[in-house]
Each structure stands twice: as structure tokens, then as C-alpha cells.
Amino acid sequence: MTFSAPVEAVARPLPPTDRIRLGVLASGRGTNLQSLLDAAASGQMPGEVVAVASNRPDAPAIERARRAGVPASVFARADYPSRAAQEEAIVGFLGERGVELVVLAGYVPVLGATLLGAFDNRIINIHPSLLPAFGNTLHAQADALRHGVKIAGCTVHFVNNQVDGGPIILQRAVPVLEGDTEESLSERILAEEHRALPEAVRLIADGRVLIEGNRTRILPAS
């Protein structure tokens, strides 16, 4: 008797497109949002940020978006009777702007079923560690130093119902130097995040990313 491995479902997040419409969710400074705005403006990324949403009214990311002329709105959890209602409002905002791909750029809340269902396989996140190491934490850089790792970095991955557990699109490694502090390591990782996030969007826009189970396959450039 012979056994064959199960065939995993293959999904393409989006068909190839000349200009992907991005919706960015951010809770903080918005430097990764800025990297996307800059990459789009310079033509280094075939995409356009068409909507920015935040859960914090004081998030500097909101001001970055407005300076760039991008519609931005705040969806504070306290303004809604439930997380589902909050997410329904966000989905409506993104839908009105024709968003095709959602990018979490320092967005703190864990996504629920409403957002995940509305943008199945079309939400990506950037995390400041080489997943699966130091996932599901807001202090990945400090945890890396505490464990004495020699290589840290960042990961861009699809978002599913497992926190920091979705299929990995790409990773960038950063050496941990003697004398590094959380701040110095974070700064070097952030520089790589600013390169990795637009690159991941470019791969998806080019139709080169296939999701196979909990892994991705990156197709060669045509």
C-alpha cells in the first residue's frame, strides 16, 4: 500500500495588477506607512495607498496620511459596542475606497473574524522578528536580546486567525551586535522593515506570491 501526501490548497492573493490599491492600518508613528507612501511616489512599488485607518486618534500615522492627501479615519474601540462593530466600520471604510490589499503597519489590535473574512488572504503584517521566533509579543527586540540571539530581523507575512502565524512572504536578517540595546537593535530592524514591506507588496502586485497551506511560494519574475 502506498500513501501520498495530502494536496494543500493553493491560493493566489490577487491577480497581477499594474497598481494595487492599499489600505493601511496603523496604531503608532507610521514610519512603515511612510515607506509605502514613498515607494509608491517614487515608482518603486506598483501600488497606491488609498486609505489609512487607526484605532488611536493621536496616532502620528493619521497625520502622515493626511499630509500625503490620503483619506484617513479613526476607529477607536470605545466608540463601538463590540469589536465586530468596530471592524465592520473599518471594512466599510476600506471597501468605499476600493482597497484590494490591507497592510498592518504597526497596528496593535489582534484582528477578528470580521476583517479576516472580508479580506481573506489579502491582509499582510510586518513583525520585528524572524518568525516563528518571538511572535505574539510587542517586545520582540527586547526578547531577542534577552535570549542572546545573534541574528534578529523582520518578517512580512499573511494574517490569519493565528497571531503572527500566517504564511511568511519574506524575511530580512539583522545581526545583533555586541552592546546592542533594544533601541539600537529596533532602529536597524526598522530600516529593514522599510525595505521589506514595499517589496512584499510589489511581489503580490506582480502576482508572484502563491499561498500553499501555511507556506508561500514566490514565483520567478516573468
Ordered structural domains, the chain, with CATH: 17-120 (3.40.50.170), 126-222 (3.40.50.170)
3-state secondary structure of 185: helix
Q: Tally the residues of the chain.
A: 222
| Residue whose cell numbers read 509605502 | 36
- Tell me the DSSP string of 142-159: HHHHHTT-SEEEEEEEE-
59-109 residue pLDDT tens:
999 999 999 999 999 999 999 999 999 999 999 999 999 999 999 999 999
Tell me the whole-structure pTM to 2 decimals. Answer: 0.94
pLDDT digits (tens, 9 = 90+) for 95-118: 999 999 999 999 999 999 999 999
Catalytic residues: 127
